[in-house]
């Protein structure tokens, strides 16, 4: 359609003189500016959408991780139930952790473990350079994600391995390994956040201990990771 319009205006120029060619050039320049603006706006929206999707995925993971912390809760620890109630774990609780989990959260722990793994893999490549803090309106990711991507990728992969190990432990019904894997997943998330995510009070308030990975039952595993960073993947 634009080509037909240009052809028409060129013919018109032959009959009415050069003044009309100036008019054509103005139209072409205006069209180019409009198209460039539309394309730039679309590109900006696309980048911000990618950031928003990865943030929503992270939030969904932390919600599930906070629920999974029920499996490692110690007597006196508090957990939030599916209806928002705060429950204190009693020292007289004789139920198995998986049974306690189902009772408190009205869902199976295995489902949360599987969903965390799926979310991790779905947004694994959602940190391209053009979605850095220098190129989008807002992001919680630190510049270090793009300055030292090898370190970020290693920490992210640690979380993927930890979630895989957790799902394997669920399949094997290995209670001790389930506890260890929940802690390793929490520690991998906390370690990545410490280096690559902006610290804000609002993050801590909404995401709780899942943001830092600091659960009382995980201190021995934290020492293990301190001595051997690859322990998270084992």
**88-102, 118-132, 172-186, 198-212: which has the minimum mean pLDDT?**
198-212
Burial 8-40 (b: 16+ CB within 10 A, else e): ebeeebeeeeeebeeebeeeeeeeeeeeeeeee
Q: What is the mean pLDDT of residues 101-118?
A: 95
Report whether CATH 1.20.1250.20 matches the domain 57-72+108-233.
Answer: no
Question: What is the arithmetic mean of pLDDT over 93-112?
Answer: 92
Q: 89 with 77: CB under 8 angstroms?
A: yes
Query: Residues 43, 163: contact at Cβ < 8 Å?
Result: no
As a whole number, mean pLDDT of residues 139-166 equals: 94
Length of the chain measured in residues = 234
Instruction: Please state, rounded to an integer, the average pLDDT across all residues of the chain.
Output: 81
Q: Which residues contact 218 (CB under 8 A, 6 or more apart)?
A: 72, 183, 186, 187
Domain residue ranges in the chain: 1-46, 57-72+108-233
pTM: 0.77
Q: What angle do CA 167, 223, 174 make, to 5 degrees?
A: 25
State the Cα–Cα distance between residues 191 and 185, nearest whole angstrom.
10
Q: Could you identify the residue written with the tokens 């940190």? A: 127
The whole-number pLDDT of residue 210 equals 54
Give the pLDDT confidence score for residue 18 in this predicted structure. Answer: 53
With contact defined as beta carbons under 8 Å apart, do 142 and 197 qualify?
A: yes
pLDDT tens sequence across 176-234: 999 999 999 999 988 888 889 877 666 555 555 555 667 888 888 888 888 888 888 88
Triad 61, 65, 68: Cα angle to 5°: 140
Strand locations in the chain, DSSP E? 78-80, 86-88
């Amino acid at each position: 359609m634009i080509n037909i319009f240009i052809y028409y205006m060129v013919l018109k120029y032959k009959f009415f003189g050069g003044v009309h060619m100036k008019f054509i050039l103005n139209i072409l320049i205006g069209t180019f500016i409009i198209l460039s603006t539309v394309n730039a706006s679309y590109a900006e929206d696309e980048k911000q959408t990618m950031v928003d999707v990865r943030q929503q995925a992270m939030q969904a993971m932390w919600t599930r991780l906070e629920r999974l912390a029920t499996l490692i809760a110690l007597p006196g620890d508090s957990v939030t139930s599916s209806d928002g109630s705060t429950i204190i774990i009693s020292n007289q609780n004789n139920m198995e952790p998986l049974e306690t989990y189902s009772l408190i959260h009205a869902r199976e722990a295995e489902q949360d473990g599987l969903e965390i793994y799926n979310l991790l893999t779905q947004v694994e490549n959602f940190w391209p350079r053009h979605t850095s803090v220098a190129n989008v309106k807002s992001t919680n990711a630190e510049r270090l994600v793009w300055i030292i991507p090898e370190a970020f990728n290693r920490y992210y992969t640690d979380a993927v391995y930890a979630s895989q190990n957790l799902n394997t432990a669920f399949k094997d019904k290995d209670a001790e390994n389930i506890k260890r894997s929940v802690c390793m997943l929490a520690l991998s998330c906390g370690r990545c956040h410490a280096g690559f995510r902006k610290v804000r009070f609002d993050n801590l308030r909404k995401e709780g201990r899942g943001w830092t990975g600091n659960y009382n039952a995980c201190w021995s595993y934290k020492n293990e990771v301190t001595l051997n960073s690859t322990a998270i993947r084992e």
